[in-house]
């Protein structure tokens, strides 16, 4: 009986269990369907969405820096090129303790605080597994020592990267310029994507002005990375487009000769070809080693350069503004002739000073005793101040300014380099606008001898000298002669004419003759330095200038021996040669050099000699024939 | 007793009978283990070392299964209370002297090996509850709940304190599944459900910060893409990018490029889904369903109440195991740290599961013996 009960109980129990199991199976099926529904949503419904995310995860596009275009002079001499430079890089993920590593590296390579600071900044900003630069420009010995000890230096890599170099160095530092590390300001003015793979960018000079051409276009490679950002393999590559190679109008040999002719003095020389506006030399002395900036200049070196009294970082040729002094007289004379104020033949007796009728003040000539009887030509040759005071007083500032403006005074030349300034062409309007004062008659007088408010850059002076040489023909000066069109052919730029200066041909003759007289006549201001020992094969037309840095009192004498050097006059000379078929127009400035005739004129003569007689002249002819 | 001799039967069947193993269950488990090894090989970055170690663990698990299959069900039944008491003692020992790993106190160092007493509870709790309920004649009543619910909750609480939310949940599920299978009235389940719902706030207060974070991250994984949400986001990317057909074995980029964390252990399902796609996933779910169904079939044919309840509970716990892991990897449940049964890398859960299958096989052979 009990057995039957047990058996019945057992059967009932089993049935109940089966019911529960079936329930559980239904529930399990429901759960599996829910999971299946979820999975189909992920794998079928949102498949493309997740595929995109997965691809974004694993794929990375890395830029490849283009190789920068090289810069050559007109004869093919390399001015800026690229060469492999060894640099020390650290992959932080593999390096272990950074402080300890840096400590050990000190035994191999000199690390400045700036290096370490830049490195630490790079470490914070890097992507995973991206090597960070520690030191650039390693020498061979250091490279070898580190290579031998690499097993002790985990994560340390020596990488060869293209680095800008300037084989001709400091003589070309201002005109060619340099590249430096890209900073925030640089990134603000360029498309950051184009520079994603680049470390350097043009900072000044040609390097900066033609940055767009020189830089090229970056390429890209698509790589597969893992979750740590380490590159697993390369999937595709778009090669970069290299930058354009540039050929400058500069003649490297002439540039070096010009720099040498300054003989360590501070100054600037600009030489132009008046026929086509090509800049043959653009010198600012002293220069500096541009490669310091490529490597990354240290704070100490930079402040040394900045506090150097000779101001090597200052581009005197383009940024420097100086009173043009007597070099402006040919322009003033031309204005007077053009305006009919005077004629070439009208003579006046030039005493040692000039007084505005009814005024006390004496405007003195640089020569105490005056120059005696002078006409226009002789006045320019002897550089009579009184003659031009008289002319200016009759003409008035308003009739003088248009001619000076036509020669480009007070306007940027528009040279294709950085840092150029406009100078000052003073006028009634200018004075009212800047000083809120009326124009005084006496200011007209000193403007006529290139003093007072008037300022001009050596570039401007060379430009107006070229205009004189071209008898009013004005061609835009430029530094770029041709660019490589990518097929190895040079694409030459055409000369760009500007608005010419119009006046009667006989006026040009008068000025031209007077400039020859200034150099080659016994009474000319450049007789002593040039005319007495003239070049055998050509004549020079030119004008000296001695521009005052500070104003002398009514009865004071200028005496170099009693003045501190920084108050000495600037020595100036502008000229062109050969006088009858001008091939070169030169402006020379020797800062605080003293007399233009004694100091600046010989410098110009050397430059012209180098160009017209020397090898430079020969090679120029060859390239012109092509 | 029944003699096998004199009957015509294939060698394989004879061997299975001798070893008291269930052929169908053995084949299904074997397929799953092989699939697991293949996925593990891919997930571990084609590591032969991982493959060898896992193969050794599988060997250990199979040995354990075969051994346990030899133990008669009534012996298991008489062992149940002792196993349970020993398990509780070990859990208390862990609380006092356990090894700490990854912020949790789960392991006990026995000198020659480390093991997790909580794993024992996955078997001991359903055995204990089944044992108790098999001493009762009828379906469970209220006073039975008074005994069985503490039997379940005490170990669950101890394991949660370690903390090990995943194991605690599985142990609890195993225990309550026994009560469910024993035929507890529906009203009680509704009541328990409501009680559980009411317990959620209390549970929240009991949770550790990282557990709360996991729950919060579940609802909005994008809120913390690099921290707590990273696992689930990368896991969904892996699964979703697998598509219908998958990227192919060894071709999963999410796993091979290290984007998927925990990819050989808790998140191995995402590797499988990325490489074999929705079709592969559907087949895997079918395989799991077949294993559970076979386990329940064996239990339905079991000869006594203890065997029935224990077998059913073990089979369904296996289902819960799988469902929770996949739901977690697909972002349906918080990341609670439950491996994918028989596939995830790691020895502890594998051996426990194989012992559970050994018990099921013991039950299966008990059935055969009595029937014949």
A39·B139 Cβ contact <8 A: no
The CATH number covering residue A610 comes to 3.40.710.10
Q: Respond yes or no: is residue A384 known to be catalytic.
A: no
| Contact between chains at A10 and B323 (C-beta distance less than 8 A) | no
Q: Which of B183, B253, B332 sits opposite A16 (nearest CB)?
A: B183
Nearest residue of B to residue A51, measured between CA atoms = B241
My answer on whether A178 and A327 are in the same domain is: no
What kind and span of H or E run contains A78? strand A78-90
What pLDDT was estimated at residue A620? Answer: 36
Last-in-domain residue among A142, A161, A180: A161
Q: So what's the pLDDT on residue B138?
A: 76
Residue A505, both tokens: 């041909």
CA-wise closest residue to A270 among A326, A309, A320 = A320
Question: What pLDDT was estimated at residue A487?
Answer: 78
- Interacting residues of A180 by C-beta distance below 8 A, sequence separation 6+: A200, A201, A203, A293, A294, A296, A297
Residue A476 lies in a domain: yes
Q: Determine, for residues B278 and A43 on separate chains, whether the beta-carbon distance falls below 8 Å.
A: yes
Residues A91 and A213 in one domain: no
Tokens, residue B210: 């990282």
Asked if the C-beta of A495 comes within 8 angstroms of chain B's C-beta atoms, the answer is no
Convert A352-367 into a string of H (helix), E (strand) and C (coil).
Answer: CEEECCCCCCEEECCC
Q: For residue B323, which residues of chain A lie inside 8 Å, CB to CB?
A: 28, 31-32, 35
More confident residue, B280 or A16: B280
Are residues A227 and B259, on separate chains, in Cβ contact within 8 Å? yes
**A204: domain CATH number?**
3.90.1310.10
Is residue A228 less than 8 Å (CB to CB) from chain B? yes
User: ∠ CA(A596), CA(A601), CA(A603), 5° rounding?
Assistant: 120
Q: Measure B234 CA to nearest chain A CA, in Å.
A: 8
Q: Are residues A106 and A234 in the same domain?
A: no
CB atoms under 10 Å from CB of A440, counted, come to: 12
ipTM for the assembly: 0.88
Q: What is the pLDDT along chain B (372 residues), one digit of tens a residue?
A: 444 555 667 788 888 888 888 999 999 999 999 999 999 999 998 889 999 999 999 999 999 999 999 999 999 999 999 999 999 999 998 888 776 666 666 777 665 556 788 889 999 999 999 999 988 877 788 888 889 999 999 999 999 888 888 889 999 999 999 999 988 888 887 887 888 788 778 778 777 777 777 677 666 766 666 666 788 888 999 999 999 999 989 888 888 888 888 888 889 999 999 999 999 999 999 999 999 999 999 999 988 889 999 999 999 999 999 999 999 899 888 777 889 999 999 778 899 999 999 999 999 988 555 544
pLDDT tens profile A333-346:
999 999 999 999 99
User: Does A11 contact chain B (CB < 8 Å)?
Assistant: no
Which residues from chain A sit within 8 angstroms of residue B288, using beta carbons?
A: 32
Interface contacts (A, B; CB < 8 Å): 131
B170 part of contact set with chain A, CB < 8 Å: no
Paired with A219 in beta bridges are A64
Residue A615 has pLDDT above 50, yes or no: no
Pair (A351, A429) in one structural domain? yes
Give the distance from residue A21's alpha carbon to the nearest chain B alpha carbon, in angstroms.
7
* β-strand partners of A87: A159
Same domain, A129 and A209: no
Are A548 and A452 in contact, with CB atoms under 8 Å apart? no
CB-based contact A226 B257, cutoff 8 Å: yes
A579: Cβ–Cβ under 8 A, 6 or more apart, which residues?
A512, A515, A516, A538, A539, A540, A541
Contact list in A for residue B139 (CB cut-off 8 A) is: 13, 16
Could B278 and A57 be called an inter-chain contact, meaning their C-beta atoms sit closer than 8 Å?
Answer: no
Q: Could you read off the pLDDT of A188-224 as tens digits, one per residue?
A: 888 888 888 788 899 999 999 999 999 988 888 888 8
Interface of B with A in 298-327 (CB under 8 A): 299-300, 304-305, 308-309, 312, 316, 319, 323, 326-327
d(CA A326, CA A390): 15
- Model confidence at A74: pLDDT above 90: yes
CA-based nearest residue to B129, from B83, B161, B90, B169: B83
Q: Is residue A13 part of a domain?
A: no
Last residue of a domain, one of A133, A161, A189: A161
Cβ–Cβ of A24/B243 closer than 8 Å? no
Residues A256 and A244 in one domain: no
From first CA to last CA, the distance across chain A in angstroms is 130
In A126-228, beta strands by DSSP E: 132-138, 156-165, 178-181, 200-204, 219-225
A368 falls within a domain = yes
Contacts of A184 (CB under 8 A, 6+ apart): none
pTM given for the model: 0.69
Q: Do residue A143 and residue A192 come from a single domain?
A: no
Confidence of residue A146 (pLDDT cuts 50, 70, 90): confident
Per-residue pLDDT tens digits for A26-46: 999 999 999 999 999 999 989
Total residues found in chain B within this entry: 372
In which domain, by residue range, is A204 found? Answer: 57-77+168-248
Cross-chain residue pair A50–B236, CB shorter than 8 Å: yes
Q: Return the exposure string of A602-623: e unless at least 16 CB atoms fall within 10 Å of the residue's CB, then b.
A: bbbbbbbbbbbeeebbebbeee
As a whole number of angstroms, the distance between CA A308 and CA B139 comes to 103
On whether residue A36 sits in a domain, the answer given is: no
d(C-alpha A477, C-alpha A462), whole Å: 10
- A218 and A356 part of one domain: no
Q: Is position A261 within any domain?
A: yes
Q: Distance between CA A258 and CA A281 in Å, rounded?
A: 7
Q: How far is A129 from chain B (nearest CA, A)?
A: 14
Residue A402 shares a structural domain with residue A450: yes
Asked if B257 is an interface residue toward chain A (Cβ–Cβ < 8 A), one would say yes
Give the residue from A22, A30, A39, A40 with the most B CB atoms within 10 Å of its CB, the best one to mutate.
Answer: A39
For residues A89 and A237, state if they share a domain: no
Nearest CB among B238, B288, B312 relative to A17 is that of B312
Number of domains observed in the structure of chain A: 3
A447 is a domain residue:
yes
* Residue A324, domain member (yes or no): yes
Residue A363 near residue A552, CB atoms below 8 Å: no
Residue A21 to residue B299, Cβ atoms within 8 A: yes
Residue A226 touches chain B, beta carbons under 8 Å: yes
Taking 90 as the threshold, does the pLDDT of residue A3 lie above it?
Answer: no
Same domain, A91 and A210: no
Catalytic residue among A85, A198, A199, A326: A326
Quickly tell me which residue has 């609890």 as its tokens: B172
Both A270 and A231 in one domain: the answer is no
Question: Hey, how many other C-beta atoms are within 10 angstroms of the C-beta on A561?
Answer: 4
Report the CATH number at residue A113.
Answer: 3.30.1390
CA-based nearest residue to A156, from A125, A181, A119: A119
- Which residue, A109, A126, A161, sits at the end of a domain? A161
In a domain, A35, yes or no: no
The yes-or-no verdict on residue A464 having pLDDT over 80 is: yes
| Residue spans of alpha helices (H) in A249-384 | 252-261, 291-295, 299-307, 329-339, 376-382
Which chain A residues touch B222 with a CB distance below 8 Å?
none
């Amino acid at each position: 009986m009990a057995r039957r009960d047990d058996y019945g109980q057992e059967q009932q129990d089993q049935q109940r269990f089966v019911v529960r199991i079936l329930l559980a199976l239904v529930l399990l099926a429901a759960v599996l369907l829910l999971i299946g529904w979820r999975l189909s949503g992920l794998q079928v419904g949102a498949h493309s969405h997740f595929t995109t995310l997965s691809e974004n995860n694993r794929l990375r596009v890395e830029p490849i820096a283009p190789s920068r275009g090289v810069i050559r002079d007109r004869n093919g001499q390399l001015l800026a090129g690229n060469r492999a430079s060894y640099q020390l890089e650290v992959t932080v993920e593999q390096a272990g303790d950074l402080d300890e590593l840096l400590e050990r590296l000190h035994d191999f390579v000199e690390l400045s605080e700036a290096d370490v600071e830049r490195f630490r900044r790079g470490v914070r900003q890097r992507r995973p597994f991206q090597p960070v630069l520690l030191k650039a420009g390693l020498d061979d010995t250091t490279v070898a020592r580190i290579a031998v000890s690499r097993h002790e230096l985990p994560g340390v890599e020596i990488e060869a990267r293209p680095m800008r170099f300037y084989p001709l160095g400091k003589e070309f530092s201002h005109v060619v310029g340099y590249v430096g590390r890209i900073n925030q300001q640089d990134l603000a003015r360029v498309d950051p994507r184009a520079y994603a793979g680049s470390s350097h960018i043009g900072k000044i000079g040609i390097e900066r002005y033609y940055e767009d051409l020189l830089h090229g276009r970056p390429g890209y490679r698509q790589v597969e990375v893992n979750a740590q950002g380490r590159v697993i393999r390369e999937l595709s590559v778009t090669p970069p487009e290299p930058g354009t190679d540039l050929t400058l109008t500069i003649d490297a040999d002439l540039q070096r000769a010009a720099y040498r002719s300054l003989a360590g003095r501070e100054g600037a020389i600009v030489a132009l070809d008046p026929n086509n506006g090509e800049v043959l030399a653009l010198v600012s002395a002293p220069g500096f080693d541009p490669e310091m900036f490529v490597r990354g200049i240290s704070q100490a070196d930079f402040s040394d350069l900045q506090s150097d009294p000779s101001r090597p970082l200052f581009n005197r040729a383009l940024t420097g503004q100086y009173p043009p002094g007597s070099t402006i007289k040919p322009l003033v004379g031309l204005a007077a002739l053009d305006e009919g104020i005077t004629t070439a033949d009208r003579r006046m007796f030039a005493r040692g000073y000039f007084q505005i009728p009814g005024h006390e003040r004496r405007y003195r000539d640089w020569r105490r005793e005056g120059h005696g009887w002078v006409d226009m030509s002789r006045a320019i040759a002897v550089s009579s101040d009184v003659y031009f005071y008289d002319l200016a007083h009759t003409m008035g500032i308003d009739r003088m300014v248009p001619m000076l403006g036509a020669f480009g005074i007070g306007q940027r030349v528009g040279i294709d380099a950085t840092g150029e300034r406009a100078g000052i062409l003073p006028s009634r309007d200018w004075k009212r606008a800047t000083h809120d004062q009326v124009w005084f008659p006496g200011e007209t007088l000193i403007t006529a001898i290139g003093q007072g408010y008037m300022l001009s850059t050596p570039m401007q002076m060379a430009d107006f000298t070229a205009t004189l040489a071209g008898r009013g023909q004005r061609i835009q000066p430029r530094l770029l002669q041709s660019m490589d069109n990518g097929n190895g052919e040079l694409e030459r730029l055409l000369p760009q004419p500007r608005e010419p200066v119009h006046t009667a041909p006989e006026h040009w003759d008068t000025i031209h003759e007077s400039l020859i007289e200034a150099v080659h006549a016994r009474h000319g201001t450049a007789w002593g330095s040039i005319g007495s020992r003239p070049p055998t094969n050509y004549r020079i037309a030119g004008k000296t200038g001695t521009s005052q840095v500070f104003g002398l009192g009514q009865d004071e004498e200028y005496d170099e021996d009693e003045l501190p050097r920084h108050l000495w006059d600037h020595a100036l000379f502008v000229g062109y040669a050969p006088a009858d078929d001008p091939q070169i127009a030169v402006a020379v400035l020797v800062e605080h050099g003293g007399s233009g005739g004694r100091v600046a004129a010989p410098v110009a003569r050397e430059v012209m000699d180098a160009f017209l007689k020397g090898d430079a002249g020969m090679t120029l002819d060859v390239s012109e024939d092509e | 007793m029944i003699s096998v001799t004199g009957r015509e039967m294939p060698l394989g069947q004879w061997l299975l009978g001798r070893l008291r193993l269930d052929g169908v269950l053995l084949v299904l488990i074997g397929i799953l283990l092989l699939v697991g090894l293949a996925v593990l090989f891919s997930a571990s970055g084609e590591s032969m070392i991982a493959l060898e170690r896992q193969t050794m663990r599988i060997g250990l698990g199979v040995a354990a299964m075969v051994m346990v299959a030899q133990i008669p069900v009534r012996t298991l039944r008489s062992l149940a209370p002792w196993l349970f008491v020993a398990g509780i003692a070990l859990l208390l020992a862990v609380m006092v002297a356990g090894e700490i790993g990854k912020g949790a106190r789960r392991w006990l160092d026995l000198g020659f090996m480390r093991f997790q007493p909580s794993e024992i509870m996955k078997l001991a709790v359903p055995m204990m509850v089944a044992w108790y309920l098999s001493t009762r004649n009828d379906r469970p009543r209220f006073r039975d709940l008074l005994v069985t619910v503490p039997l379940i909750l005490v170990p669950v609480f101890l394991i949660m304190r370690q903390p090990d939310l995943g194991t605690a949940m599985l142990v609890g599920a195993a225990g309550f599944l026994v009560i469910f299978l024993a035929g507890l009235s529906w009203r009680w389940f509704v009541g328990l459900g409501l009680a559980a719902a009411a317990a959620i706030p209390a549970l929240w207060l009991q949770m550790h910060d990282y557990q709360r974070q996991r729950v919060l991250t579940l609802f909005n994984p994008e809120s913390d893409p690099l921290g707590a949400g990273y696992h689930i986001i990368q896991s969904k990317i892996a699964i979703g990018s697998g598509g219908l057909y998958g990227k192919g074995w060894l071709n999963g980029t999410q796993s091979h490029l290290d984007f998927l964390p925990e990819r050989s252990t808790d998140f191995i399902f995402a590797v499988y889904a990325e490489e074999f796609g929705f079709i592969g996933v559907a087949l895997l779910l079918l395989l799991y369903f077949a294993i559970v169904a076979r386990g329940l079939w064996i239990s339905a044919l079991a000869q006594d109440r203890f065997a029935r309840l224990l077998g059913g509970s073990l089979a369904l716990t296996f289902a819960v195991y799988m469902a929770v892991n996949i739901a977690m990897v697909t972002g349906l449940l918080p990341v609670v740290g439950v491996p994918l049964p028989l596939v995830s890398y790691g020895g502890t859960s594998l051996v426990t599961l194989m012992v559970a299958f050994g018990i099921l096989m013991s039950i299966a052979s008990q059935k055969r013996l009595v029937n014949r």
